[in-house]
Amino acid sequence: MKNLKKSFLFFIALLCSSFHQGQEKIDSLRLYSELVLHPNKGDDLISSYNFFKRVYIKSLNDDDKSETIYALWHIASAEFKMGFYNESEESSIKALELCDKMDDSEYLRDLKKGIYNHLGILYRRKKLTDEAIEFYRKTFELVRNKKDSITVFNNIANTYLDNRLYSKAKVILEGSLSQLNIEYDTILRALVLDNLGIVKSEINKEEGLNELKESLVLRKAKKNFSEVYLSYYNLSNFYRKNFELEKSKEYALKSLEIANGLNSVAYKQKTLGLLVELSDNEHVRLYKKINDSIIKAHEISSNKFAFLKYNTVKQEQETEHEKKQKQLFQFIGSLILLISFGGYFFYRERNKKKIVENVIQTEGRISKTVHDVIANDLYQIMSKIQLKDSATDEVLDDLDAVYLKARNISRDNYVIDEEMSFSEILNDMFESYQTNKVSIASQVNTFDWSGVSIHKRNMLYRVLKELLTNMAKYSEATLVTIVFKQKGKKVEVLYKDNGVGCLLTKRNGLVNAENRIKSVDGKIIFESEPGIGFITKIII
């Protein structure tokens, strides 16, 4: 009995010890993750880097892929903030390679979302615009809440800023800011304000100061020194461009003081470069300009290797997987062909009849619309002409209105054939919905439509038109992204906007869209809630 009591007490002690160790590990991960995101002292980044290096080595030995990926992501973040960009890229690609070996899960998607966003920021810093946009789009596909969406929009706006597309950047940032109240997320609001201040100052040198100063106040209140550094640096740049050199130098020195406190090589180099530009010595300024050009050329020539290697390996793996799938499908297909051959002729004749009936119904519907809309309007115009007092201008206006209605009917029933460039047709449609308030981003020009049938192109064109029409009428969106992907023999289309969203019901053209996609054996999924925008996934 005595021994039993001792064993029980030992078991309880062991259980408590294990729980304590587990909780201690979780607390350490949270602490050092926060230090990577928001370093406040000179050794924060170094101590965090060393901590996650230890976690990385242990998780490798334990074959814990999730923890290895988590550690590599934070190692990459620390390397980036310390100025080691190529090393940060290598760590990120290692993490993605491990992600490809794991089964899909919500946690894995969160990890990939963070890594994709980090690579977008990294490639933007390296002036690789196409690569940055690609990873921001990958990030956006995994986003499921307003905060993350605004973060991605902010990063896309920064990329537009780099390419001097200031109006587009401004529309995105102002739309993001309107969705953030002061209590929502102070750090994110400060980030959007800071970037909006920069964009406004590029459009008009005298604008943007209020946003830059408001961002600094918010960051100081949060004691987020790595972000305070950026505010000081951007204020210095603002005053430099407005030739207020004393104020520019004052803020540059403040940013250098924080860079020294954080012991960040990248921050020190960036601020010292700004101080050189403020120097009176012409030779010193010329030296910096030449040195910057050399550094940029070196980065562009050397920084694509890791991502290129990762893409090559991944394509080889996908090719091998597709080969095995193809062999399996060929076997199954042959079996199905033998079983279903007898019923082929019966279904073919029945489907032919259905197709003919659908065509007749469609033509009748179009004919009725033209008769009801055009014929009635023409009758009224003819009646006006018969009246002697009818004004010529009024008649011409009415005729013009009839013409516009006829043109709209023609567009709604637009038929695409093999001779037309589908990419150009989609681009023209996207441009027709783009305004000063709405930006539409898509990589349609790089997509190969040769393997997509004419029937599928026609249905996809009409569905996208319905989605954009709903967006223009109801959503109040400022940014729409439309991404096209080849998934084997299928095409996946992901539509997203940052509008007000809605409660999903069978209205607003959703039934029509479902019927069109089903008619070409496709699949369409809608996701939306008030306040988080509208998402549509189409597979055809």
**Reported confidence tier of residue 12, pLDDT bands at 50, 70, 90:** very low
pLDDT digits (tens, 9 = 90+) for 90-107: 999 999 999 999 998 999
pLDDT score at 359: 40
The CA distance from 343 to 93, in Å, is: 51
Query: Which one has a higher pLDDT value, 235 or 1?
Result: 235
Amino acid at site 272:
L
Question: Taking residues 397-417, what's their average pLDDT?
Answer: 61
Q: Which residues, including other chains, have CB under 8 Å from residue 479's CB and lie 6 or more apart?
A: 153, 156, 171, 172, 175, 438, 439, 440, 441, 497, 498
pLDDT digits (tens, 9 = 90+) for 112-163: 999 999 999 999 888 888 899 899 999 989 988 888 888 899 999 999 998 8
- Asked if residue 196 lies in contact with residue 170, where contact means CB atoms within 8 angstroms, the answer is yes
User: In a 10 Å sphere around its CB, with 0-12 CB exposed, 13-18 middle and 19+ buried, how is residue 242 labelled?
Assistant: middle
Residue position matching structure tokens 């003919």? 356
pLDDT digits (tens, 9 = 90+) for 190-223: 999 999 999 999 999 889 999 999 999 999 998 8
Q: Is the pLDDT score of 464 beyond 80?
A: yes
**Reported confidence tier of residue 418, pLDDT bands at 50, 70, 90:** confident
Question: Taking residues 257-279, what's their average pLDDT?
Answer: 85
Instruction: Determine what percent of the chain is predicted with pLDDT higher than 70.
Output: 68
- Nearest CA among 204, 262, 206 for reference residue 232: 262
The CA distance from 464 to 414, in Å, is: 13
- Asked if residue 199 lies in contact with residue 157, where contact means CB atoms within 8 angstroms, the answer is yes
Cα separations in angstroms, 26 against 64, 101, 327: 15, 25, 46
Query: Which one has a higher pLDDT value, 234 or 340?
Result: 234
- Asked if residue 536 lies in contact with residue 467, where contact means CB atoms within 8 angstroms, the answer is yes
The CA distance from 346 to 97, in Å, is: 50
Q: How many other C-beta atoms can be found within 10 angstroms of the C-beta atom of residue 137?
A: 20
pLDDT score at 195: 95
Name the DSSP letter for residue 446: G
Instruction: Determine what percent of the chain is predicted with pLDDT higher than 90.
Output: 37
The first and second tokens of residue 509, run together, are 């053209």
pLDDT digits (tens, 9 = 90+) for 57-70: 999 999 999 999 99
**Reported confidence tier of residue 288, pLDDT bands at 50, 70, 90:** low
pLDDT digits (tens, 9 = 90+) for 471-529: 998 899 999 999 999 988 899 999 999 999 888 776 556 787 888 888 888 999 998 88
Q: Is the pLDDT score of 289 beyond 70?
A: no
pLDDT score at 199: 96
Question: Taking residues 341-359, what's their average pLDDT?
Answer: 51
Phi, psi for 391 (deg, rounded to 5): -85, 140
The CA distance from 8 to 24, in Å, is: 24
Residue position matching structure tokens 């120097």? 279
DSSP β-bridge partners for residue 495: 482, 536
Q: How many other C-beta atoms can be found within 10 angstroms of the C-beta atom of residue 275?
A: 17
Q: Select, from the ranges 100-109, 276-285, 388-397, the one with the highest average predicted confidence (pLDDT).
A: 100-109
- Asked if residue 161 lies in contact with residue 199, where contact means CB atoms within 8 angstroms, the answer is yes
Write out the H or E segment, with its range, that includes residue 539. Answer: strand 534-539
Q: Which residues, including other chains, have CB under 8 Å from residue 449's CB and lie 6 or more apart?
A: 422, 423, 457
Q: What is the DSSP string of 166-207?
A: HHHHHHHHHHHHHT--TTT-HHHHHHHHHHHHHHHHHHSTTS
Q: Extract long-range pairs of 50-55: CB within 8 Å, 24+ residues apart.
A: 52/78, 55/29
Helix or strand or coil: residue 524? strand
